[in-house]
Each structure stands twice: as C-alpha cells, then as structure tokens.
Amino acid sequence: MSKRDYYDVLGVARNASDEELKKAYRRSAMKHHPDRNPGDASAEAAFKECKEAYEVLSDGGKRRMYDQHGHAAFEHGMGGGNAGPGFGGADMGDIFGDIFGNIFGGGARQQGPRRGADIGYVMELDLEEAVAGVEKRIEIPTLANCEPCKGSGSADGKVETCATCHGRGQVRMQRGPFAMQAPCPHCAGTGKTIPNPCPQCDGSGRIEEEKALSVKIPAGVDNGDRIRLAGEGEAGPAGAPPGDLYVEVRVRPHAIFARDGDDLHCEVPIRISQAALGDSVRVPTLGGEVELRIPVETQTGKVFRLRDRGVKSVRSRHPGDLYCKVVVETPVNLTNEQRELLEQFEATFTGENARRHSPKSSTFLDGVKGFWDRMVS
C-alpha cells in the first residue's frame, strides 16, 4: 500500500511553520496514542504514521529532500544512513513531555503538596457602587482546615511514609513497550499515609463550612473585572497551602446611564419647543445635576459631550466623559388649546416655507421622487 503524503498525515499545508507542525503532531499523537486506544490496531498504525511524518518534516534537511523527491528520497538510500524515518531525528521527548507528562518514564519530577482549589464568586453591583467602590460582606461554601487535627488528617498527629511508593507519590506502570508514571493508588499521590485518621474529617484534614469574608471593591471596576484574594480559597489537603478566591464583578443595568469603558451615555428628552427655540435643561451625572445648554434648532439625536463627567476606572488616571443624546419628545394628551396652536403652526408649512423650515424632510421627499422617476423611466 502506498504511503500517504506526510503533510496530509499531519493535516498541514506544505508551507507550514515548525510551530504549526508541532501543534499538528501533538493533536494527532494525542488522538491515536495506544494508551488512549488499547487494542486498536488502526489507531496504533495511525500513531506510527504521524510519528514518521513529524520526524521527517521537523528536520530541515529531511524536509527539503522530501519536498523534492517525496517518499522516494528515503527508499533507496538517497538520504544516507540516518536519513530514513525512524525515532532518531525528532525531539520526541519534548513533544510527549508536553502531551503525556511522564508517559515514557525517566523524566518524572516529584511534585510538592497539592494546593487547595481556587473558588469563584460572582458579585453583583449597582453602577454607583462600581464607580465609587464599596465594601461588602459575603458568605461562601468552602473546605476549611479541620480544627481537631489542625489540617493534618491524623488523630494523633502521626503521619507515615507510604510503603508502596516510598514517599514519591508516583508509581511506575508498564503497559506494553511504554512505561508511565501514575499517582500512587495507596496514598493518592501524597507520599504519606495516616495510620490513625481523624474521626472529624475522616483523614482528609478538611471539613465543609460557610466562610464569611469582607471584600473591598476598588472604585472604577467594570463588568468582568476579577479581584484575587490570596489564600481565601479551599484549604489544601493534609495541610497543603490553600487556594485563592476570585471575585468577579457584574454591574447591573442602570435606569439612566449606559457605560462604555470610562464613558457614560444617557438620553435627554426635550420638548419640540425647546429644540426649536433653545433652552437650558438639567441633566444628571454621577456627581449631581449639571446644566446643559440646548442651542436653537437642535435636531433629535444630537449628542452633547460633557468632559470628565464619566467614570475614572481602576486602569485610568483621568475620568471619561458623559455623552448626552437629545431626544425630541412628541407631546401627548394635548388640550384643545394646544391642538389648535399646533394646527396653526402646521398650516404655516406650505410652499417654499416648508422647504425652508424643514430641510431634511424636503431632501427626503426629493430623494423619493427621484427614486420613482428612475424606476418608471
């Protein structure tokens, strides 16, 4: 059976970089490794095929020969004694060390005590709290050190070296041609055994409890910001260091403001008369109300910028700005007098007056007329 193209085997382009080749080989080796597919002959063959392809393509000289001559470069001695595919050229230890850890043995490093797990907590804040900062008390379920045994898991304080792994926490297992390191099943990888476990925690050194904490939220936080409280996570097993607590901030939607980084946005409703004649209106800010001048003939959608009225975030030195979008509000619940006045006002928009006083409407109507003229012509 003819060999498949090495580039097709790894699923990469012919101009793939060394890093792309390495990543592709990792994926393929992870998928087809015999330890993951015991007894599967096709997976074993695919595993050998991807190893052979990577050894050739990861070597600059062999790759150039393969690009010029294909598989024939290694079939009749064209590449010399060490040119053929095998295990001699590529750094397989580096690849498999990344994928399978200590699967081939010989490189195992004894790990220190496993620290406790980290805890995540979502804290919801109002916009005002996020901007000004706040201190809040929270309660979280966690694993804490057992008080009777001081976290050791032993009722009498005695801890022995595991007789199975001799304190290494790892045992060597042979599976076919491969040797791999695995956590010791007797001591669960700790390297220690407890002859007299604590009855309160059953030898784990930890108990479940509700933990109360006071968390200070700095001023200027935003959605997705995380605050790390070192050592406030779960207690580590058998006296190992505790994990950390990560508080993630979620800011509730605000009735007036929408936040965009350091800037704030809001809508300011005004009457038709205010938009046409101009006026001064009071607008809210996080620091109190300020005056906003509405120029004569202001159109709806006009945005006014109030400098330094936004948010000073935890990452910036200066506050952002407040953007006020003017929205002209159509009057409702009109009285008879108001209706008559508006009818009189509308009656003045005839002839050239309409075009002069409503330039946007006139431009729109001209555009519609031109569109239909083009459609029927």
Domain boundary, last residue among 67, 100, 133: 100
Q: Supply the mean pLDDT for the chain.
A: 82
Residue 358: domain span = 345-376
SS3 182: strand
Contacts of 238 (CB under 8 A, 6+ apart): 113, 151, 152, 153, 159, 190, 192, 204, 205
Instruction: State which amino acid sits at residue 211.
Output: K
Question: Would you say residue 371 lies in a domain?
Answer: yes
Residue 106, SS3 per DSSP: coil
Taking the C-alpha atoms of residue 294 and residue 300, their distance in angstroms, rounded to an integer, is 11
> In terms of domains, do 31 and 93 share one?
yes
132 domain residue, yes or no: no
Reference 7, options 42, 65, 50, 44; nearest CA is: 50
Euclidean distance between the first and final Cα of the chain, in Å?
70
Helix (H) or strand (E) holding 137: strand 134-145
State which of 100, 115, 132 marks the end of a domain.
100
Residues 17 and 75 in one domain: yes
> pLDDT tens digit string along 17-47?
888 888 888 888 878 877 777 778 888 888 8
Q: State the CATH number of the domain containing residue 81.
A: 1.10.287.110
What is the separation of C-alpha 345 from the centre of its chain, rounded to a whole number of angstroms?
57
At 242-289, the pLDDT tens digits run: 999 999 999 999 999 999 999 999 999 999 999 999 999 999 998 899
Asked whether residue 109 is assigned to any structural domain, the reply reads no
The answer to whether position 192 is within a domain reads: no
Length of the chain: 377
Q: Looking at the predicted structure, is the pLDDT value of residue 71 above 90?
A: no
Domain identity same for 48 and 83: yes
Summarised one tens digit per residue, pLDDT across range 180-201 is 788 888 777 778 888 888 888 8
pLDDT(120) > 50: yes
For residue 269, give the CATH number of its domain: 2.60.260.20
Query: pLDDT tens, 363-377?
Result: 655 666 666 666 676
Residue 183 placed within a domain: no
CA–CA gap between residue 233 and residue 115 (Å, rounded): 10
Per DSSP, what are the bridge partners of residue 114? none
